[in-house]
Structure 1
């Protein structure tokens, strides 16, 4: 019957239209509606179901308790960047680490972790850190491959460091609590950060350019005031938002509201009573939010029609025919996500690709290997986050690399960026393998803090 091939044709149409460069949200919605109308024409899709599409769109956003936090967290990150707090934090951290080899590299990596709320979009994260850090690093005579490598690493590291926006969408796609999804990648991310720092410190010792000056920027005013302004305020705001969500003191939406107010206050603290800058930050937040939710609405339309035609059975049927074991299926799913990360952003992957693959993930049984069914999903969530982050960093297609080239000075060549990230990708793959064979790295913190079993 024709209906058996409709979900496959939907996927084919989606792929072909996505590579044309049309807006992703429009492609998703257009393919969904077009195949619904095609189904009506051939008698396979009931006409009354067409009128359920607006209700489906409303349910996907209006009745989701997680999504209201997204624009407020985005505004918090945009405000931190617009106010200049990100650059001041970078210079303050460099002064804290003094004349340690690679002190600027260490500072940039920490910036990537601390500015995770801004990492809702790969381009925004990488470009912001590049603008704040690259000129200073090149002025201090860091080699271009080292400077660009650390910016790419820190920009992608923030994508999966809580309270990054991607973790909200992953928790929803994998049916996990926000707290468990926030906690599961923390130890792997800290491990990656420490490994990156060790690598860059060693690289700076071995390959420091002759005459390179790593002296910290001189402090104007008293040191306590400088530390309060440059370090305590932005770090305290991020810690308050993250801690209140994980501890369960308030809902994610309430915590994000506090972060948004704090981010707006940062503009006035750092730049004076500048309403024009506040308005600019609000407009930028609206643009990013509109892009994200346009994709959400399009994905809800596509998934409604796709599931009606039995699309959920595609992934299950594929792996059933291959007769693979649980570990082989998991490796195949992670491999598919890794390749998809070369070509499409995490928003489309979590909203479109992951729901297609999720039925196959649900059938996996790692309860004995990890400890319980719930903890197995937490572990898989951490693995997916790490794989996505690695794909954004991997040449020649990694998203982060192209955004970095666009934000870098013209003197930086693409070959230098590639050389800078190759050893970092090796570190990433090593961490993925470590979490794969030692699940406790991802599950210990959620199990301990949230008392999950």
Structure 2
């Protein structure tokens, strides 16, 4: 009891919120799956409120301030339907499995392989041509699929052996592939933006349009780095000995190889931009378009279709399981007053609204070293929403955009979360790539290769922070039309 009296400078709710977060992090480090960790912590602190805090309220109140906002565990059962039913009834989340299906089916269509072959010939005479080919294909795939694992593996299988045969520096080759493969999480259509739209209760169309320029900005920074690095360190990107001269036939072949994925991009994003379809409807169009591309290439059969359906079900099921668990976790946190505690702590620490945003982005960046983007999006974003809505941010929505400050913040977080795929120890792009690396390429080569691209991502984040118009202008134009 003397220990409790020493800790009385915090209220009971504040200690419970801290204990909830520490328990969750402990379970993750113990190797417990994310969904189980979320449910286990939430259930444990619900039972704690029911069988310890309520019966012994008077005794506890002698040592720690017992707030009136303590958890009412009876409301857990009253709101049980929201854990699952609310997700199933959400029309935005219907787009999630559709976009996953579209990305997986596009990988089976052979479109990327054809682009790689034609671009290798086109850029073969340029220093760093292979790296440029990989980067451009990564950008195109990012705009037609949001499945990071599939993109990284596909680019690694197609590009890495060729780059190694041409004596590319191993860090340069692996860093280029890992960075280009992660662009799909930002450039729409992106499954991360679908989830953010649900968690922040904002338009998915706003997020898709708002993320387009920042995503292309990152792609431009990557390409500029490859060109400049090739000039500074030519030995890291040697020219091929058997390079072919560029002809009209080669240029036409590249244009024809890019046409199918470009058509798919226009089908999805164009239908949203011009108001022909909602993002949910556009996801169905994208899934159908990718299926038709696979059929036209002669690669669609019953085995491929069943495999894509099975992978879509597994990926969607994994994400929705975390959704349900995160809803349970968020409800328990909210009943302990966690959202108010965090809001008061953050707003009380900074006077300038921009400093608040920078502090949140810094926390998200650090969490990216330890957690996956899904956990960060589902746990952190709902807690940060009241803070952002309470700030007086001078973000120009051009008189059309509904809530420009929240859209701008969401894209800032999305750009920050790009780093979570590349930063060890849990950067998933690093492990996807290592799984398809040829002998002689170590995890150390990959770690060294991603350093400049992480720095470029932070540079892109700074540019988007300084120029919010990169986010808000296109959604405003789309709605004005």
CA distance in 2, matches of 1:229, 1:211: 25
Compared CA separation, residues 324 and 142, structure 1 to 2 (3 A): same
The question of whether the paired residues in 2 share the 8 Å contact of 1:99 and 1:214 is answered with no
Moved more, 95-104 or 237-246: 95-104
Aligned to 2:314: 287
Residues in 1 aligned to 2:154 and 2:245: alpha-carbon distance in whole angstroms: 20
Aligned pairs for 1:63-212 within 5 A: 63-97=89-123, 99-116=125-142, 120=146, 122-205=148-231, 206-208=233-235, 212=240
SS of the aligned residue for 1:290 comes to helix
Give runs of aligned pairs for residues 23-38 of structure 1, distance below 5 A: 23-38=33-48
Match of 2:18 among 8, 24, 27: 8
- Secondary structure of 1:355's aligned partner: helix
- Summarize the Cα distance change of 1:385–1:272 in structure 2 as closer, same or farther, 3 Å threshold: closer
Q: Distance in 2 between matches of 1:112 and 1:342?
A: 23
Aligned with 1:239 (options 243, 258, 266): 266
Q: Contact 1:94/1:216 (CA < 8 Å) preserved in 2?
A: no
- State the shift of 1:276 in Å: 0.8
Larger Rg: 2
Aligned residue number for residue 215 of structure 1 = 243
- How many residues were matched structurally? 450
Distance in structure 2 (CA, Å) of the matches to 1:24 and 1:396:
16
The answer to whether structure 1 residue 379 and structure 2 residue 408 are counterparts is: yes
* Paired position in structure 1 for 2:32: 22
Q: Provide, for residues 342-361 of structure 1, a one-character-per-residue CA deviation record: whole Å limited to 9, x for no partner.
A: 11111111111221222222
TM-score normalised by structure 1 residue count: 0.90
Q: What is the Cα deviation at residue 227 of structure 1?
A: 5.5
Greater CA drift, 368-377 or 242-251: 368-377
Show CA shifts across 1:362-411 (max 9, x none): 22211367778822222222211111113433456644223322332231
**How far apart, CA to CA, are the structure 1 residues paired with 2:172 and 2:72?**
58
Which sections of structure 1, spanning at least 5 residues, go unmatched?
none
Residue 480 (structure 2) aligns with = 451
TM-score by length of 2: 0.85
Decide whether aligned partners of structure 1 residues 159 and 368 sit closer, same or farther in structure 2, where only a CA change above 3 A counts: closer
Paired residues of 1:379 and 1:443 also in contact (CA < 8 A): yes
Shift in Å at residue 247 of structure 1? 2.6
Select between 204-213 and 68-77 the one with higher mean Cα deviation.
204-213
- SS of structure 2 residue aligned to 1:343: coil
User: Is the alpha carbon distance of 1:118 and 1:49 closer, same or farther for their aligned partners in structure 2, counting shifts above 3 Å?
Assistant: farther
Residue matched to 2:372: 345
> Where do 1:287-326 residues align within 5 Å?
287-326=314-353
Change (3 A) 1:284 1:215: farther
Distance in 1, Cα, partners of 2:126 & 2:160: 19
Matches within 5 A, 1:337-416: 337-367=364-394, 374-394=403-423, 398-416=427-445
2:148–2:429 contact (8 Å) kept in structure 1:
yes
8 Å CA contact retained: 1:80, 1:267: yes
- Any conservation in 2 of the 1:267–1:278 contact (CA below 8 Å)? no
CA distance in 2, matches of 1:270, 1:50: 52
Which of 428, 432, 453 lines up with 2:457 in the alignment? 428
Which residue of structure 2 aligns with residue 248 of structure 1? Answer: 275
Q: Aligned in 2, Cα 1:202/1:216: closer, same or farther, shift over 3 Å?
A: farther
1:277 corresponding residue in structure 2: 304
Find 1:334's aligned residue among 358, 361, 377. 361
Gaps of 5+ in 2: 1-10, 55-69
CA distance in 1 between counterparts of 2:27 and 2:270 reads: 42
Higher deviation after alignment, 210-219 or 413-422 = 210-219
Report the Cα distance in structure 2 between the residues aligned to 1:218 and 1:275, rounded to whole angstroms.
Answer: 40
- Residues 422, 218 of structure 1: alpha-carbon distance in 2 compared, 3 angstrom cutoff: same
For the residue of structure 2 that corresponds to 1:184, the secondary structure is helix
Distance between the aligned counterparts of 1:66 and 1:368, measured in 2? Answer: 26
1:337 Cα offset (Å): 0.4
Judge conservation of contact 1:267–1:277 (CA < 8 Å) in 2. Answer: no
- 2-11 or 156-165, which deviates more: 2-11
Q: Does 1:61 align with 2:87?
A: yes
Kept after mapping to 2: 8 A contact 1:60/1:297: no
